[in-house]
Each structure stands twice: as structure tokens, then as C-alpha cells.
């Protein structure tokens, strides 16, 4: 044997094989440890595909709402089940799905990411980023369908949720944990009112979630740009399912946004969710129901349309102190046709929520912003969640304003010489001027208390109506300069005593004297002071 010949005792290969002996030994060990048993994997098949709906057969044990995965990677959820198959709603359209493709049950339900990583981001309902930011690494994921808190787990709605809008905070106070519907015709300022409420939380402890369902991309971009320019976008989450998105994404968008907001509520924090809007969400639900051959009901909506929105909005609540005391406030938006509040979807939502803010097209056309119809709007929480000082000075505002609107209708046919009626009309005009508020110009609670206290004391009666906006714009800086200690006492105590009221109204009176020196006309209508009520239309 030569020196170059391999030693048989150290040969690393089996005779007649190219495989190393060490690899064969390791393979034998793995085979010995492997439990050899029969396994079954149920695979369904796509038998029909159209309009974002896939008809799947071969998955008899699939649960309603279960998440499915197609061979091509597309995901869907089970929308309806029957004896012959499953109607699955696709989440990414039908472009990558083919008839005959295999479908697998993931064994899980649809989940979305939650946590701090979503703050400041624009995402789709599945949590995938739509902005130019980095990938999102969430804290965890939660199901989009979650049970609402039980009665024993809830607490009373007693803490105020300030919107910065005088007409809302003074007349229809909102509380943390409340569900208040914003309803009105198309292009009457519904989204603007909700965005103002989000902007006003820039200095508060509330996390805001804005959910766009079926909206135009340009409208969504304007809403997001407004929050970034005037609010605090780092404390907001934008969930976007535009009109161009798949119906499945539009359908789960409100539920996904609610889950993201619930994460903060369950951790003892406070959150606000705006759903824009549930009318389009109801139309998407009707579309899916008709495509899956569910029996139609009133206005072709399926019979579960009420339950759909009830189980969604019931998730907004104020939790008990034992569960952390967090809250989730909901501002859903609904659209009416020609002011018809008795339509199917608006009446359903009105019965579910804790009140409604109604916006009128006639008020919007007359230049009143926000165009809130005081007679039709209501908050079923009301003064129980209103700041005590604001509740004290806003007691008669709604009644005085309603009487003014009735009197103004009669004065259109001619002037009234009764001094009491003239005084009521003059007061009502100033109330309307105060309630008319530009966008992104939220008022602090102290500013609102000072304005309404001065109005109740008659300080604004000598101020021309066209100067009321100037007074409102200049008052916050003047209060900070001349009544800082009074504002601090109001913030600490929450109540308005006589001394504190005198301090605040004194600042307003001084500002009124600057804007309208003594001798200024009380009524700035064209016909003069003897024919009041010919100013801005109601």
C-alpha cells in the first residue's frame, strides 16, 4: 500500500456511496426522533370568483370570520357559511386569485397590529403603512372583532371631552366614553367638525384614531394634512380604506380602528375615534350581503345591519377603576339625503348612540360654521359630563337662542317696536355670532366660560355683531395677560364663584370698550336700531 492510498479505518464514506458517514448518522438520529404518524391537511378550492368574493368548497369545519390563506398568498375572511360552501371576502382584490386555487384555514381570526408604533402613521385596515415611513413593528396584534365591555366593567361617563367648539361644549357637552353621532347632508361640515375635535386634543392626554371608509383620496389627504398642520399628528393614527380599496378592507376598517383605539383604553389611557363614515360602511355591507345572496330587507340592507353597527359602537365605553379607568369616545359620522333623519341607517345609528349633532344644509348655505342645528341636536349625557363652570353660564343659552330663531322668522315681515322683543333679538344675534366659529380655532374652557358669562351679564349687548369675531379671536391672549390667576383658579376648582366671574367678565368688558367705544350703535342692521332682526339669516 502506497502512502497516498486512503486508510480504510479513517475513510469518511460508505462503500458504494457518495454521502458522508457523519451526515448519514445524523439523518438516522433525526429519523429515530421523528414520530411517524398519519397527518391530514384540509385544503379547499376556489370554485367561483367575482367582485371581491371567492366561493370556496372543501373546508367544512371553517368558522365564521376565520382567516383563510390562498396558495398565492392572498388572505380572506369567511363572511357567510352554508351547506355547500363558504363565501370568502378577499382583502387584497381578485387580481392574484384564480379559480381552482387551493385555500387553507389558518386556524386564526383576522388580527391587526396595535401599540405605540402606529402613532403618527397612515395605515390601511390591516396595519400596513401607506405613508413613506419605516416598517411598523407593533407591540402585539389583536382580533378586529372583540366583545364590548360588559355593564359591570363600565363606569359612569362623567369626565368632559372638550372639542374646542363653543356650540358643542356649551349646548351638547360630550363625555369621555360617550358615542355621539355627527349627521347631516353631504358637504355640510361633518368631517370638519370631527377634525376640529381631533385638533383640539393636541395638548390633552387623548389618543386620536381617524378612520376613513370609502372616502375620496383627496378628501382623506386634506383631513390628514389639517391634523398635521394644526394638531399633534404624533398622537394620532390614520386608518384609511378609500373608495378604491377592496370592499373587504372597507368593511373591516371601522373594526380595525376600534381595536387599535381599544388598546390604549385597556391600558388605562383615553382615546377618541372618528369613523368617517358609517353610511358608506353600511353600503359596503349591503354590497357584500347581496353578492353572497343573503336575503335583502329594508332598502336592500340585510337583516343584521343594526347588529353590525351596534356591536361596533358598543365597544366605546368608560371602563371602571378596577380595569384601569380608561375611556374610548366615538364620533361616528352618517350622511343623510335632503335632511331626512328618518332614513334607515340614520335612525339605526341615532338609536345606538348617546346623542347626535345634526348639521343643516340651510345653515351651512347661510354661512354659519359649524352648521349645527340646535333644535335637532342633543346629547344624552349632557350636563353630567360638562364642566361645572361651563354648565353654570350656559344654562339659558339654548332656550334664548331657540326663542330668537322663532322671533326672527316673524321680524322678516316687518320690525317690532316692543323693547323686550328687540332686546331678545339683539341677544340672539350675538349668541349666533359667538356660536359661529372658524376652523382650527378651538377655544379653551376658560375662554368659553368668560364669553358666556359676559353674554349673560349683558356685556356684549353694546358690541356690534360684526365685531364679535374680533372679540373671540383676541380674548385668549387678553385673558392670559390680565386674568392668568383667575384662569388658574378656574382650572383647579372647576367652579365659577362671584369673584372669579367678575375677574373674567371684567377682562371681556375692557376688550369690548376697546373694540366698540361708548356711543357705538347697538344694532348694525341697515334699517337702524328700530328694525332689528334683519342681520345674518338663521
pLDDT for 414: 64
CA distance 149 to 286: 27
- Whole-Å CA distances, 32 to 25, 29, 35, 220: 11, 5, 8, 60
- Domains of the chain and CATH, by start: 44-109 (2.40.30.20), 113-386 (3.40.50.300), 392-515 (1.20.150.20)
Contacts of 59 (CB under 8 A, 6+ apart): 42, 44, 68, 86, 103, 105
Residue with cell 405605540: 116
For the question of whether the overall pTM of this predicted structure is more than 0.85, the answer is: yes
Residue spans of alpha helices (H) in 344-482: 344-352, 361-365, 388-393, 397-411, 419-435, 445-456, 468-482
DSSP letter assigned to residue 129: B
Torsions phi, psi of 514, nearest 5? -70, -40
CA distance 194 to 197: 5
Point out the residues that are catalytic.
380
Q: Are 271 and 206 in contact (CB under 8 A)?
A: yes
CA distance 435 to 433: 6
pLDDT for 42: 80
CA distance 19 to 14: 7
CA distance 535 to 79: 56
Of 278, 233, 249, 274, the residue nearest 112 (C-alpha): 249
CA end-to-end distance (rounded Å), the chain: 115
Of 377, 462, 451, the residue nearest 427 (C-alpha): 462
Of 254, 212, 250, the residue nearest 91 (C-alpha): 250
Q: C-alpha grid cell for residue 54? A: 371567492
Across the strands, what pairs with 141?
113
pLDDT for 39: 64
Which pLDDT tens digits describe the chain residue by residue (538 residues)? 444 444 444 444 444 445 567 778 887 888 777 776 666 678 899 999 988 899 999 888 889 889 999 998 899 999 999 888 999 999 987 778 889 999 999 989 999 999 999 999 999 999 999 998 889 999 899 999 999 999 999 999 999 999 999 999 999 999 999 999 999 999 999 999 999 999 999 999 999 999 999 999 999 999 999 999 999 999 999 999 999 999 999 999 999 999 999 999 999 999 999 999 899 999 999 999 999 989 999 999 999 999 999 999 999 999 999 999 999 999 999 999 988 999 999 999 999 999 999 999 999 998 899 999 998 999 998 778 899 999 999 888 888 888 888 888 777 766 666 788 888 888 899 999 999 999 999 999 999 999 999 999 999 988 999 999 999 999 999 999 999 999 999 988 888 999 999 999 999 999 999 998 775 544 444 344 443 333 333 2
Contacts of 518 (CB under 8 A, 6+ apart): none
Amino acid at each position: 500500500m502506497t502512502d497516498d492510498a486512503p486508510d480504510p479505518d479513517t475513510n469518511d464514506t460508505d462503500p458504494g456511496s457518495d454521502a458522508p458517514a457523519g451526515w448519514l448518522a445524523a439523518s438516522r438520529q433525526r429519523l429515530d426522533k421523528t414520530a411517524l404518524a398519519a397527518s391530514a391537511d384540509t385544503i379547499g378550492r376556489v370554485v367561483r370568483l367575482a367582485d371581491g368574493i371567492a366561493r370556496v368548497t372543501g373546508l367544512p369545519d371553517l368558522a365564521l370570520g376565520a382567516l383563510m390563506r390562498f396558495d398565492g398568498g392572498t388572505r380572506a375572511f369567511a363572511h357567510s357559511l352554508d351547506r355547500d360552501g363558504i363565501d370568502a371576502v378577499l382583502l387584497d382584490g381578485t387580481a392574484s386569485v384564480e379559480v381552482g386555487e387551493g385555500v387553507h384555514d389558518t386556524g386564526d381570526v383576522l388580527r391587526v397590529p396595535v401599540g405605540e408604533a402606529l402613532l403618527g402613521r397612515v395605515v390601511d385596515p390591516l396595519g400596513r403603512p401607506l405613508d413613506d415611513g419605516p416598517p411598523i413593528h407593533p407591540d402585539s396584534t389583536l382580533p378586529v372583532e372583540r366583545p364590548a365591555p360588559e355593564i359591570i366593567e363600565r363606569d359612569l361617563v362623567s369626565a368632559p371631552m372638550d372639542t374646542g367648539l363653543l356650540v358643542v361644549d356649551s349646548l351638547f357637552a360630550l363625555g369621555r366614553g360617550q358615542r355621539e353621532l355627527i349627521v347631516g347632508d353631504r358637504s355640510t361640515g361633518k368631517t370638519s367638525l370631527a377634525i376640529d375635535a381631533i385638533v383640539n386634543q393636541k395638548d390633552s392626554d387623548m389618543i386620536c384614531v381617524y378612520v376613513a371608509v370609502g372616502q375620496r383620496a383627496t378628501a382623506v389627504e386634506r383631513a390628514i394634512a389639517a391634523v398635521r398642520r394644526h394638531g399633534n399628528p404624533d398622537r394620532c393614527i390614520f386608518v384609511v380604506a378609500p373608495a378604491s380599496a377592496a370592499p373587504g378592507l372597507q368593511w373591516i376598517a371601522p373594526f380595525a380602528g376600534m381595536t387599535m383605539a381599544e388598546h390604549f383604553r385597556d391600558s388605562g389611557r383615553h382615546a377618541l375615534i372618528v369613523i368617517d363614515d358609517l353610511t358608506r360602511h353600511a353600503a359596503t355591507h349591503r354590497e357584500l350581503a347581496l353578492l353572497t345572496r343573503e336575503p335583502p330587507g329594508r332598502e336592500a340592507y340585510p337583516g343584521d345591519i343594526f347588529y353590525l353597527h351596534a356591536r361596533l359602537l358598543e365597544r366605546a365605553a368608560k371602563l371602571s377603576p378596577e380595569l384601569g379607568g380608561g375611556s374610548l369616545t366615538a364620533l361616528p359620522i352618517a350622511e343623510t339625503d335632503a335632511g331626512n333623519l328618518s332614513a334607515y341607517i340614520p335612525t339605526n345609528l341615532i338609536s345606538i348612540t348617546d346623542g347626535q349633532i345634526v348639521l343643516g344644509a340651510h345653515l351651512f348655505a347661510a354661512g354659519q360654521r359649524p352648521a349645527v342645528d340646535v333644535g335637532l341636536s342633543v346629547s344624552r349625557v349632557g350636563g353630567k359630563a360638562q364642566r361645572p363652570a361651563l354648565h353654570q353660564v350656559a344654562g339659558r343659552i339654548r332656550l334664548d337662542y331657540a326663542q330668537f330663531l322663532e322671533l326672527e322668522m316673524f321680524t322678516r315681515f316687518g320690525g317690532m317696536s316692543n323693547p323686550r322683543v328687540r332686546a331678545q333679538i339683539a341677544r340672539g344675534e350675538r349668541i349666533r355670532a359667538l356660536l359661529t366659529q372658524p376652523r382650527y380655532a378651538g377655544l379653551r374652557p376658560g375662554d368659553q366660560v368668560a364669553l358666556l358669562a359676559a353674554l349673560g351679564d349683558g356685556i356684549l349687548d353694546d358690541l356690534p355683531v360684526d365685531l364679535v369675531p374680533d372679540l373671540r379671536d383676541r380674548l385668549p391672549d387678553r385673558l392670559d395677560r390680565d386674568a392668568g390667576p383667575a384662569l388658574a383658579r378656574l382650572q383647579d376648582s372647576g367652579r365659577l364663584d362671584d369673584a372669579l366671574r367678575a375677574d373674567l367678565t371684567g377682562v371681556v368688558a375692557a376688550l369690548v370698550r376697546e373694540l366698540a367705544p361708548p356711543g357705538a350703535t347697538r344694532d348694525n342692521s341697515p334699517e337702524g336700531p328700530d328694525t332689528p332682526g334683519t342681520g345674518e339669516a338663521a
